[in-house]
Structure 1
Amino acid sequence: MEERQWMGKEALWKNEVIAALLLVSFAFFINRGIKIKGLYMDDLYLWSCYGEQTFRQFVFPLGSTRFRFVYYLAAWLEMMILGSHTEWFVPFNILLNSCIAYTIYRFGKRLSHRWLVGFGCGFLYLLSRMSYYQISQVYGLMESMALWMAIGILYFLYRYLSGEEQPDRYIRTAAGLYFSVCFVHERYMVLLPLFFFAFLMKKEKKVSYWLGITGAFLAVQFIRFLTIGSISPAGTGGTTVADTFSISQSIQYAISQVLYIFGINAGPDYLSGLSWSQSPSWVRVLIMLANFSLLIMIVRFLFVLFRDKEKLKERLPVIALFIIFIALCIGSSSVTIRVETRWIYVSMTAAWLFAAYLCGEAVPPKEGQAYSVRPVLYCGLFVLYGLLMLPVESFYRGKYDNLYYWSSQLRYNSLAEETYGKYGDDIFGKKIYIIGNTYKMSDFTARTFFKTFDSKRLAEGTEVTFIDSIRDIGLVQPNMLILREDPAHNAFQDVTSFVKDLKFQRVYGSYEDGWLDENAKIRIMAGKEGVIKLKFYYPGVITGLEHITVMAEGKEKTVVSINSSTASAEIDVPPYKVSELTFESNFYYQAAAEQRSDKHLAVVAEITAD
């Protein structure tokens, strides 16, 4: 008997490991094209605060428009651990999302009493196009934490409503999560009525429960008032909810979120990736078929619900719990100036879990098969829904480049790849010239961007300058890097070598270390003044007879006499034109340790253009 129990536990343990590994593998697969190579905008500002502020200033920002110390503490720890490895943010986000998916799988399995349905919930969570922000931005940690905590509140209140033992434990944990999530994102303050509903359904007589969650809410408001001077939540894009709230607009946004939950992109392309009206017919057909399978599930459940009237009082509170949770989340996301798809993610996740609950109640498991993986017809509808949405979600994921911030992230990924990705720490101290500024890079970004790659967070000497064309700079020096914008591909291109060769080309007899042979030729582009400056260094014995004849385009320009170890000259050439200069020396350096061509080394030359 004991051996059978041990074997049963071992089988369950193996199933859990398999589920976790499958979810992690799928998470990395489905997000394989997403990268963070360079930080910008909100992510870069967050990093700069981490790098320039004390721990207290960063985690407890007094006087700010938001006070999210729970999130800021997690962000501080994340940045401390990842350091200057910007490319690690996406793997970190994927692993975190995998943990959330595993939690959802366990919750879905409990609701449906079936491994396959629970796994389907975790699978759909990872597949969803709504995960774009959580994966592709450093600030995605905030959305992930808030979603995880909100679903945790739903889970523990469900356990409480289900009449399980240790209700104190569930309520305390749910209340703790509520207090914490309010300081991850203030939007979730709206979940307070969910507690009161659960207490009413259970006819709760413990005053401590009612006072406890009320006290948590009041504590949140008191802390917010002390730290930011207001209890009104901040809105999107620097707005405040109190200033921008509109009842008609909120109703419109709420309806659009309901449509999103049923797979219909009710927002514009820059928020949804691709609107419903622009989506191809096959996508809309699959979504309608998926919704039809949900409709059949709901009809079947309603039939069972009203047939088994003895369980009606047990089921209705749970049904209402899910519906109120989704409604509250939708309402809190409808009061600002726009609806971003990432805000609907928690409502969508709750909807999948609700579907798992319908599966578990409409087709109860047989005795002794509490977690059977054998699909039945009804639960097969949920699996069918997932299969129909697989190509849909994959298609919409391919439209991320339409999102309002995606092109900018691609640009700064490219900037990172073309600079630090190619040169590593050698980028620090360089003067970086960018041809054009159609991307409208801010001064803050230009000053801060390269600091993220420096373990010391300084990037000393690194400067970013915008120029209209290569005419605005002289010859390319070793401490210079030239980039150009490539708007067609939302990228930057490193054109340093091209510009260097265009402005200064060594035809023969001229070398990188400055040495010239007895006969040498270069091609050089002058600036707007058309002046080429020459400075020669001769380390040999000077007799007074040494001279160098400099010719431009085959015509003699000047003869430079070597009367000392250094000699200088200037010659005039056409502005902004590549001129061919020839150097003929009547001497060579007899003590030279090498000979690099059929001619001898003569002199070291420093050649610059205006």
Structure 2
Amino acid sequence: MKDRQWLTGWKDEIIAAALLLGFAFFINRGIEIKGLYMDDLYLWSCYGEQSFREFVFPLGSTRFRFVYYLAAWLELMVTGSHIGWFVPINILLNGCIAYTVYRFGKRLSGRWLIGIFCGISYLLSRMSYYQISQVYGLMESMALWTAIGIFYCLYRYVTEEEERKWFLPAATALYFSICFIHERYMVLLPLFYAAFLMKKEKRKKPWLSITGTFLAVQAIRFLTIGSISPAGTGGTDVADTFRFSDTFRYAVSQLLYLFGINAGPDHLNGLSWGRSPYWIYALVIFADLLLFVMTVIFMITVIRERDQLKKRIPVICLFLLFIALCIGSSSVTIRVETRWIYVSMTAAWLFAAYMCGVAVPKEEAKTQLAKPLLYCGLFLLYGALMVPVESFYRGKYENLYFWSSQLRYNSLAEETYGKYKDGIFGKRIYIIGNSYEMSDFTARTFFKTFDKKRLAEGTEVSFISSIHDIGLVTPNMMILREDPAHNAFQDVTDFVRNIKFEPVYGCYEDGWLDESAKIRIMAGKEGTIGFKFYYPGVITGLEQVTVTVNGGEKYAIPIQSNTVTAEIDAPAYQVTELAFESNFYYEDAAEQRGDKHLSIVATVTAN
């Protein structure tokens, strides 16, 4: 019997894990990282240029996040030059976090379905954008996972009468780790003290252990970065930018986010509440009404069952304090980014699962069907209402401040390495325009990410105003143009090559000309077209090539040696048609490619 129950339990877990992982890949379809830029590119560059010690333990930097940097080092080692692997890795990690949320939600509610709903809500949330679409999303995922782990351990510590030895040591170890994943979460220290007070902890060891851990974190930070003040957003310092009025305003906006209201500007959340359509208002307000009804029923249940207050009040306080601390830590800098609210949002879903478990205990559900359907159904209906809301806002990611840049560099990767693979290395890449304001660092480093040797030797990026700034397109050149309307680049190499030099007939890629040949060529600024003729046969002194310009003026160029050079004048920046007539052909040619014989090898240049 026990074996059958164990097997059934594992089947449920496998189904849950597969369902969540499949949904994670489904909901994030279309998100890609094909090219690195900004912070992601700088991280990759540091990995290649620094030693393991310098990368993982960056002494003297503004941030000391060695736990995250160690994970990033391992991820970069695994991915190598496979830039496209970052998104699948991010999705896999997010799927694992969703499974953790499912397990926790299942424990809190006592129901498999509610647990799955918590995991699905976590994956569906629009707040996951950064975790999936950026290499640095690994940091946000690790921080969220670790924060939920701390809360889980303290929840178990507070609620279980027979304490297991690993709860507090695990929570303490996770706290030490999260401080060196993202220093924002140092703020979780009071959560430990609150748990000790609610548990009426009389032993000195737990108090001293977490206090010593916090002091050790500060000492390490001071010794490695010279400060204990956490760094802010955009190169700022929290101590310099903190304003109580701003912090209060940001905290209120985060509370509104928890209830589905985008309380910030478009570039931080995709689309602000004020610009959202009316049907979004209706769905969010109705969903919030369901949460209100759930909360009222939950509070009535808690008050009625007074004999359970001693057990439930600590959990409620723990949830509220955890959410408040996460909100507070994200409100002290110069702005609120949606990705920072993801931890408190996840805790809010878990709190709702706990409310389900309290309002409708599992034991009561076995004897009564109506009450579980009514109360838990409210939570599930809330989720059903939020599905179109989350999906709508996920469709507005293009408004996020970094999204357009990621699309541009994805396009740059597609138009270059995606088309030509290793053939891109060693080329001179010209980009028409620079409205994207690509930095020198990006221009130097971008293509190195695709090279297994991390060098991309000979590959150079130059910016030009128009095709007039370059001569004829040679095999080691590539021409791109910006396409701002679509946040993309276009490979116009062939187009520019044909404008600059178009073989009409009798002219071949290796330079051979037939006895009769014609080309169209665009002269440069100086309006000079140069010729270099090479004839591999025996020179008799009678050989001559006549060049006719635009069907009018003719130039007779005698071939008096195997190599002959000549120049003619042509209108600057205009396409000139040149017809070649040779009074000889190469008798030893192994083939005949056109109607006429091969005559001579010509290199044509336009300055």
Q: When the two structures are superposed, what TM-score results if normalisation uses the length of structure 1?
A: 0.98
**What is the CA deviation profile of residues 213-260 of structure 1, one whole-angstrom value per residue up to 9, with x for unaligned ones?**
000000000000000000000000000000000000000000000000
Given candidates 385, 389, 392, the residue that maps to 2:389 is 392
1:525 to 516, 522, 525: 522
For residue 205 of structure 1, report the CA deviation from its aligned partner.
Answer: 1.0
The counterpart of 2:41, out of the listed 44, 51, 54, is 44
The answer to whether the aligner puts 1:472 opposite 2:454 as a matched pair is: no
Structure 2 stretches lacking a partner, 5+ long: none
Distance in 1 of aligned mates of 2:97 and 2:213: 25
How much has 1:561 moved relative to structure 2? 1.1
Classify 1:542/1:334 alpha carbon distance in 2 versus 1 (closer, same or farther; 3 Å). Answer: same
How far did 1:557 drift?
3.7
Out of 540, 553, 558, the residue aligned to residue 555 of structure 2 is 558
CA offset digits 1:103-160 (Å, max 9, x no partner): 0000000000000001110000000000000000000000000000000000000000
Equivalent residues in 2 for 1:457-468, closer than 5 Å: 457-468=454-465
Q: Given the superposition, is the C-alpha separation of residues 565 and 374 from structure 1 closer, same or farther in structure 2, using an over 3 Å criterion?
A: farther
Matched, 1:279 2:302: no
CA distance in 2, matches of 1:194, 1:161: 11
2:113 equivalent to 1:116: yes
Kept in 2, the 8 Å contact 1:114–1:373? The answer is no
- Which residue number corresponds to residue 65 of structure 1? 62
SS of the residue 1:540 aligns to = coil
The Cα shift of 1:536 comes to 0.5
The worse-fitting range, judged by mean Cα deviation, of 136-145 and 554-563 is 554-563
- Aligned-CA RMSD value: 1.3
Whether 2:171 is the aligned partner of 1:178: answer: no
* Selected match of 1:28 from 25, 28, 44: 25
The structure 2 residue matched to 1:220, chosen from 217, 220, 233, is 217
| Number of the residue aligned with 2:331 | 334
**1:450 positional shift:** 0.4
Residue in 1 aligned with 2:402?
Answer: 405
Task: After superposition, give the CA deviation of every residue in 1:298-333 in whole Å (9 maximum; x if it has no partner).
Answer: 111111101000101110000000000000000000
> Is 1:53–2:50 an aligned residue pair?
yes
Provide the C-alpha distance between the structure 2 equivalents of 1:35 and 1:374, rounded to a whole number of angstroms: 44
Q: Find out whether 1:92 has 2:97 as its counterpart.
A: no
Contact map agreement 1:38 1:412 (CA 8 A) in 2? yes
Which of 231, 254, 267 is matched with 1:257 structurally? 254
Shift of 1:560: 1.3
- Quick check: 562-571 or 166-175, which moved more? 166-175
Identify the match of residue 601 of structure 1 among 588, 598, 601: 598
Q: What is residue 537 of structure 2 aligned with on the other side?
A: 540
1:484 corresponds to 2:481: yes
Query: Residue 118 of structure 2 aligns to which amino acid in structure 1?
Result: C
* Equivalent residue runs for 1:62-461 within 5 Å: 62-366=59-363, 376-461=373-458
Q: Deviations over 1:32-90 (max 9, x none)?
A: 01110000000001000001111000000000000000000000000000111001100
- SS of equivalent residue, structure 2 residue 568: strand
Report the 3-state secondary structure (helix = DSSP H, G, I; strand = E; otherwise coil) of the residue aligned with 1:277.
helix
8 Å CA contact retained: 2:513, 2:598: yes
SS in structure 1 of the partner of residue 127 of structure 2 = helix
Cα shift readout 1:3-36 (whole Å, capped 9, x = no counterpart): x221111111101000000000100000001110
Which residue of structure 2 aligns with residue 11 of structure 1? 8
**AA partner of residue 607 (structure 1):** V
SS at match of 2:605: strand
Alpha-carbon distance between aligned partners in 1 of 2:577 and 2:175, rounded to the nearest angstrom: 74
Aligned to 1:499: 496
The CA distance in 1 between the partners of 2:370 and 2:514, in whole Å, is 82
Task: Check conservation: 1:287, 1:389, Cα contact below 8 A.
Answer: yes
| In structure 2, C-alpha distance between the alignment counterparts of 1:511 and 1:498, rounded to whole Å | 17
Q: Distance in 1 between matches of 2:405 and 2:433?
A: 16
Q: TM-score, normalised by structure 2?
A: 0.99
* Map of 1:572 onto structure 2: 569
Mapped to 1, the partners of 2:578 and 2:438 lie a distance apart of 39
Is the contact made by 2:360 and 2:371 (CA closer than 8 Å) also made in structure 1? no
2:587 is equivalent to residue 590 of structure 1 = yes
SS in 2 for 1:155: helix
* Separation in 2, partners of 1:478, 1:581: 22
Query: Conserved in 2, the CA contact under 8 Å of 1:265 and 1:272?
Result: yes
Secondary structure class of the residue paired with 1:232: coil
Amino acid in the other structure paired with 1:226: L
Out of 351-360 and 557-566, give the one that drifted further. 557-566
* Cα distance in 1 between the residues matched to 2:272 and 2:63: 32
Aligned partners of 2:423 and 2:160: how far apart in 1? Answer: 64
What SS does structure 2 have at the residue aligned with 1:517? Answer: strand
Say whether the 8 Å CA contact 2:365–2:372 is kept in structure 1: no
Distance in 2 of aligned mates of 1:373 and 1:544: 108
